[in-house]
Structure 1
Amino acid sequence: MKTSEIDILLVPGWQNSGPDHWQSRWERNLKTARRVIQEDWDNPDVEAWGDRMAKFASGATQPVVAVAHSLGVPALIFAADKLKRSGVIGAFLVAPADVDYAHYWPDTGGRRWPPDKGPRGFETMPERRLPFPAHLVVANNDLYCSYARAEHFAKAWGATLSDAGESGHINITSGHGPWPEGLLQFGQFLKTLG
């Protein structure tokens, strides 16, 4: 498949992705990409986030491939059945935020996890097999998820896994505004879908 043959559903994590983040760049540069807009980026609720993802996916006119980053990854895993029913045929997962080890996360924009109102539904990482193909990209020095944990999650989710080297959390802080390697991997993943 090509990007023109799918609708790309961008799923940012906690506090959204800023204008220079690779997800924002993909949204601007890939014609079929659109971002899920959550009602509350700062105080995530797993059910509300899943419902919003499903709503955005169900409005698509083509098969949907979700592209999740950070806390968007466990949100997508929790909502996988809803997303499958809404037309999602695959998921490209990048740098998951491992909520089981959130006490080790660095601060984000001067804020620490858990958020003020608490992470409703994000108390533990989901470990269920996905109902569609998935590919997981993780750096071997990500402070939000160890590579060993990522290997465990990939197996549990039924996802293929690639090591992004020493790329941190694959965000602006780690130098990933434009992320051409990610776009290449995304294209390779799409080829496996048909």
Structure 2
Amino acid sequence: MKCDILTLAGLWNSGPQHWQTHWEQRHPCWTRVAHRDWNNPDRDEWVAELDAAIADCEGRPILVAHSLACMLVAQWAQSCSTLKVAGAFLVAPSDVEAPSYPIDANGFKPIPLERLPFPSIVVASSNDEYVAPDRARAFAQAWGSKLVEIGPAGHINGASGYGAWPEGFAMLDDFCRDLNP
């Protein structure tokens, strides 16, 4: 399988109006990493699925994650996998340690707060119902990620009006260009 981009949807998967879905339709060579149970994700199972998807790639892929999948990337980075990725574009990381998180965290706690061993960017909203701005900043700082705060954008998903999200695609394009000058 050839892949440069692996998209990682969050809890409940990304529906037809989500920017990840729009971007995948625009770039059919991108691969959404499948998960067995989008409603009740299990960390260990999901980390293994991500590791297998990375192993299927010919080179080092770029991970494009949303919501809980940002935590998946951080968990995978701690998994001692020998595989490598080129970088990670992390949008609206969910705070699974918050009391208001909508499901059992199923192994995603505690949130890894070690520096990621690859370049990364965190895109955050000032009014995301799944992560407070100070927590998104703390994640970005701990992970060594560049932080981009885009103002009041909800959870940066289809329900928040972020369908094709051309501004986000431009950020990803810039990130990719910086990885491959």
Over residues 94-151 of structure 1, what are the superposed CA-to-partner deviations in whole Å (9 max), with x where a residue is unaligned?
00110111x335xxxxxxx22xxx4321233221110100000001111111111111
Per the alignment, residue 114 of structure 2 pairs with: 128
Instruction: Give the alignment's TM-score, normalised by structure 2.
Output: 0.92
Letter in 1 for 2:119: P
SS at match of 2:23: helix
Alignment length, in residue pairs? 179
| Residue 169 in structure 1 maps to residue 166 in structure 2 | no
> 1: distance between equivalents of 2:39 and 2:80?
22
**Runs of 4 or more consecutive aligned structure 1 residues displaced over 6 Å after TM superposition:** none
Structure 2 unpaired stretches of 5+: none
Identity, % of aligned positions:
40
Match of 1:104 among 81, 95, 100: 100
Three-state SS of the structure 2 residue aligned to 1:162 is: strand
2:60 counterpart (54, 60, 63): 63
**Gap regions ≥5 residues in structure 1:** 106-112
SS in 2 for 1:85: coil
Aligned partner (choices 42, 51, 60) of residue 48 of structure 2: 51
Q: Secondary structure at the match of 2:92?
A: strand
Structure 1 residue 25: Cα displacement:
1.1
Kept in 2, the 8 Å contact 1:46–1:120? The answer is yes
Deviation at 1:82, TM superposition (A): 5.1
Question: 1: CA distance between counterparts of 2:36 and 2:43?
Answer: 12
1:15 to 12, 22, 25: 12
SS of aligned partner of 2:5: strand
- Is 1:34 the counterpart of 2:20? The answer is no
CA-atom RMSD, angstroms? Answer: 1.8
Aligned to 1:72: 69
Instruction: Tell me whether 75-84 or 20-29 shows the greater mean CA deviation.
Output: 75-84
Letter of the structure 1 residue corresponding to residue 154 of structure 2: G
* Whole-angstrom distance in 2 between the partners of 1:192 and 1:83: 26
Query: 8 Å contact 1:54–1:83 — kept in the other structure?
Result: no
Aligned residue in 2 for 1:186: 172
CA contact (8 A) 1:81 1:131 kept: no
